[in-house]
Copies of this chain bind each other. A is one copy, B any other.
Amino acid sequence: MLKRERQAYILRQVNLHNKVLSNSLSTEMDVSEDTIRRDLHELSETGKLIKVHGGALSPSFNKIAFPLNNVYAQTNKRIIAQKAISLISDGMFVLTSGGTTIIELARALPQALSATFISGSIPAIVEYMNHPTIDVIVLGDKVSKVSKITIGADALSRIKNLKADICFLGINAIDLEHGITDNDWDVVQLKQQMIASSQKVVCLTISEKINSMQPIHVCAVNKIDILITELPADDPVMMPYVAAGITVL
């Protein structure tokens, strides 16, 4: 097998699978691993692939895996925030959880809106506070440094003692079988109580988290009224949720 053929084969494999392993290439083409290494080294010098210990990766891999800024996800969250805002009207009592999507929602609230927002998420509270006409109620308790939200029995019982018109939850994972799931026990307690204390439950998530799962159960999908992602409502991904009776925006 000629060197050129070999390298062409390697490139094909890299572009096909986004990665190649030195030792499997070696056996596939029946040359020594040294030769493969030399090939990979040459190809990496012209930028056709990225050499790593044990093999090589497609040049596009780095862009996908190590995004320079999270601007892509943020754009999607802004789209979600805009959809969510259409559900809020003057005079409403709005309960919100923590998470980056909720923060985008807080930032995108129209200046004219006058409603009451209740939350334990410190970053969200900071945003609400900067709004001219929104009343902010803080759920007090101990602050979790990880999630930047107040957690504990106090916060829980406060939520229990109120009835909000609508509740916005930034969720971590949802799938039809397991419902909404999360990875933080304390946060799950809060979300469950928020759901129980609200007339209407709206879940916000970027579509990447649709059909994924986390260790701790929050609630079944039938507990939620509206599901918002950056995708249009008729996207195939959302179809099963529409079929399950959820309003998808």
* Cα(A148)–Cα(B4), bound, Å: 30
Question: B residues within 8 A CB of A12?
Answer: 65
* Cα(A247)–Cα(B50), bound, Å: 37
Asked if residues A17 and B140 are in contact (CB atoms below 8 Å), the reply is no
Asked if residues B136 and A142 are in contact (CB atoms below 8 Å), the reply is yes
Asked if residues A15 and B73 are in contact (CB atoms below 8 Å), the reply is yes
Interface size class of A (residues with CB under 8 A): 35 or more
Asked if residues A4 and B215 are in contact (CB atoms below 8 Å), the reply is no
Question: B residues within 8 A CB of A11?
Answer: 65-66
* Cα(A164)–Cα(B61), bound, Å: 27
Question: B residues within 8 A CB of A17?
Answer: 172-173, 183, 214
Asked if residues A208 and B16 are in contact (CB atoms below 8 Å), the reply is yes
Q: Is the interface of A mostly helix, strand, loop or mixed?
A: mixed
Asked if residues B137 and A142 are in contact (CB atoms below 8 Å), the reply is yes
* Cα(A136)–Cα(B8), bound, Å: 39
Which residues A148-162 have CB closer than 8 A to chain B? 148, 150, 154-155, 158
Q: Does A38 contact B (CB under 8 A)?
A: no
* Cα(A145)–Cα(B50), bound, Å: 12
Q: Does A143 contact B (CB under 8 A)?
A: yes
Q: Does A138 contact B (CB under 8 A)?
A: yes
Closest-by-CB residue of B relative to A5 is B19
Which has the most chain B C-beta neighbours within 10 Å: A2, A3, A73, A145? Answer: A145
Question: B residues within 8 A CB of A141?
Answer: 137-138, 140
Which of A121-129, A217-225, A238-246 participates in binding chain B?
Answer: A121-129
* Cα(A89)–Cα(B142), bound, Å: 20
Q: With contacts A15-B73, A19-B2 known, is A143 near B123, CB below 8 A?
A: no
